[in-house]
Amino acid sequence: MEKFQEDRLQARKYVKAADHMLTQTYLLVKDPKLLVAVTDNLLLACESAMSSVLHYDRIFKKIPPFHDNFESKFNMFKMKTAPMNKLNEYILLINELKTLQEKHKQSAVEFSRKDNFVMADDNYNLQLITKEKIQDIMSKVKNFLTEVEKLTSKDEGIFNLASEI
């Protein structure tokens, strides 16, 4: 199995885990802290999907080599892969998820309020995570994954034949 196929499979697993947390676990537990875990899984799904496209394009020598870290992959995706494959709309999605994760890491105060998760930085700038916002992001991530699967599976027969020889 090629690296882009592994990444695509991993992205599906992250989305499935996030979806289960949001639609099943959250309804039972009603703990807004779970929303942060869902956003983390969605970011991992986006990173894996982005990595899948990058490795796919790299196999066909459409892009130069890149380092295997988030910043390098995101920059290559933003500059080369997204415009080439008409995936520009997902750059903002990935950036939004990364920003949420960074705000969570840097938040001085976190608390739950009326089924929402609130994060505050040192200056008490508030960031609110709601179930509705996460559902919207989940929908976009699923669309991104669908686009990535369409893009990376069109020449998949080449790789299946190579593994049989």
Token pair recorded at residue 80: 């080369």
For CA atoms 126, 129, 130, 135, the dihedral sign is positive
Q: Is residue 112 part of a domain?
A: no
Domain count, the chain: 1
Structural domain containing residue 35 = 3-106+133-164
Q: Is residue 121 part of a domain?
A: no
Q: Where are the beta strands (DSSP E) in 25-160?
A: 109-113, 116-120, 126-129
Q: Is residue 117 part of a domain?
A: no
**Residue reference for tokens 């080369």:** 80
Q: If you average pLDDT over each of 69-78, 101-110, 114-123, which comes out highest?
A: 69-78
Report helix angle 89-106 to 33-59, nearest 10: 140
Q: 23-40 burial, b if ≥16 CB within 10 A, otherwise e? A: eeebeeeeebebbbbbbb
- Cβ-in-10-Å burial (0-12, 13-18, 19+) of 144 comes to buried
Asked whether 119 and 125 are in contact (CB, 8 A), the reply is: no
H or E, element range at 122: none
Cα–Cα distance, 91 to 144 (Å, whole number): 10
Residue 161 pLDDT exceeds 70:
no
pLDDT digits 0-9 by tens, 1-43: 899 999 999 999 999 999 999 999 999 999 999 999 999 999 9
pLDDT digits 0-9 by tens, 129-148: 999 999 999 999 999 999 99
**Residue reference for tokens 């509705």:** 132
Q: Is residue 152 part of a domain?
A: yes
CATH number (domain holding residue 40): 1.20.120
Q: Is residue 113 part of a domain?
A: no
Q: Is residue 128 part of a domain?
A: no
pLDDT digits 0-9 by tens, 82-117: 999 999 999 999 999 999 999 999 999 999 988 899
**Residue reference for tokens 């992001």:** 137
